[in-house]
Structure 1
Amino acid sequence: MVKILPSLLASDFAKLGEDIRKMEEAGADIFHLDIMDGQFVPNISYGLPVVEAISRTASIPLDVHLMTHEPEQFIDEFSRMDISMVSFHIEATNHPHRLMQRIQESGMKAGIVLNPHTPVSLIEHLLPEIDFILIMTVNPGFGGQKFIGSGVLKIEQLDALRQENDYGYEIEVDGGINDETAGICRAAGADLLVSGSHLFKSEDWKAAVSRMKG
Structure 2
Amino acid sequence: MGIRITPSILNSDVSNLRGELDRIATADWAHIDVMDNHFVPNLTWGLPVVEAILPVSPIPLDIHLMIEDPDRWAPAYAEAGAQSVTFHAEAASAPIRLARELRRLGSRSAMALKPTTDLEPFLPVLPELDMLLVMTVEPGFGGQSFIEPMLEKIRRARSVIDERDLDIWIQVDGGIKPETIERAAEAGADTFVAGTAVFRADDPAAAIAHLRELGEAAHARC
- Corresponding residue for residue 54 of structure 1: 53
DSSP 3-state at the match of 1:75:
helix
Deviation at 1:21, TM superposition (A): 0.8
- Corresponding residue for residue 114 of structure 1: 113
DSSP 3-state at the match of 2:34:
strand
DSSP 3-state at the match of 2:141:
coil
Does residue 125 of the first structure (1) align with residue 113 of the second (2)?
Answer: no
The gaps in structure 2 that reach 5 residues or longer are: 214-222
Whole-Å separation in 2 of the counterparts to 1:124 and 1:76:
22
Deviation at 1:129, TM superposition (A): 2.3
Runs of 4+ in 1 over 6 A off after TM superposition: none
Whole-Å separation in 2 of the counterparts to 1:168 and 1:70:
27
Q: Give, as a single letter, the amino acid of the residue that structure 2 aligns with 1:5.
A: T
Whole-Å separation in 2 of the counterparts to 1:137 and 1:79:
25
- Corresponding residue for residue 19 of structure 1: 20
Deviation at 1:36, TM superposition (A): 0.5
Deviation at 1:80, TM superposition (A): 3.1
Whole-Å separation in 2 of the counterparts to 1:5 and 1:47:
19
Question: Alpha carbon RMSD of aligned pairs, Å?
Answer: 1.1
DSSP 3-state at the match of 2:78:
helix
Deviation at 1:72, TM superposition (A): 2.2
Whole-Å separation in 2 of the counterparts to 1:119 and 1:77:
28
Deviation at 1:76, TM superposition (A): 3.9
Deviation at 1:59, TM superposition (A): 2.2
DSSP 3-state at the match of 1:112:
strand
Deviation at 1:165, TM superposition (A): 1.4
- Corresponding residue for residue 39 of structure 1: 38
Deviation at 1:154, TM superposition (A): 1.1
Whole-Å separation in 2 of the counterparts to 1:100 and 1:29:
22
- Corresponding residue for residue 183 of structure 1: 182
Q: What are the within-5 Å matches in structure 2 for residues 1-214 of structure 1? A: 1-24=2-25, 27-214=26-213
Relative to the length of structure 1, the TM-score reads 0.95
DSSP 3-state at the match of 2:43:
coil
- Corresponding residue for residue 218 of structure 2: none
Whole-Å separation in 1 of the counterparts to 2:206 and 2:75:
37
Deviation at 1:144, TM superposition (A): 0.6
Q: Deviations over 1:6-40 (max 9, x none)?
A: 1011110122111111210xx21100011101001
Whole-Å separation in 2 of the counterparts to 1:73 and 1:45:
19
Whole-Å separation in 1 of the counterparts to 2:75 and 2:114:
25
Whole-Å separation in 1 of the counterparts to 2:158 and 2:75:
31
- Name the % identity: 39
Whole-Å separation in 1 of the counterparts to 2:205 and 2:71:
36
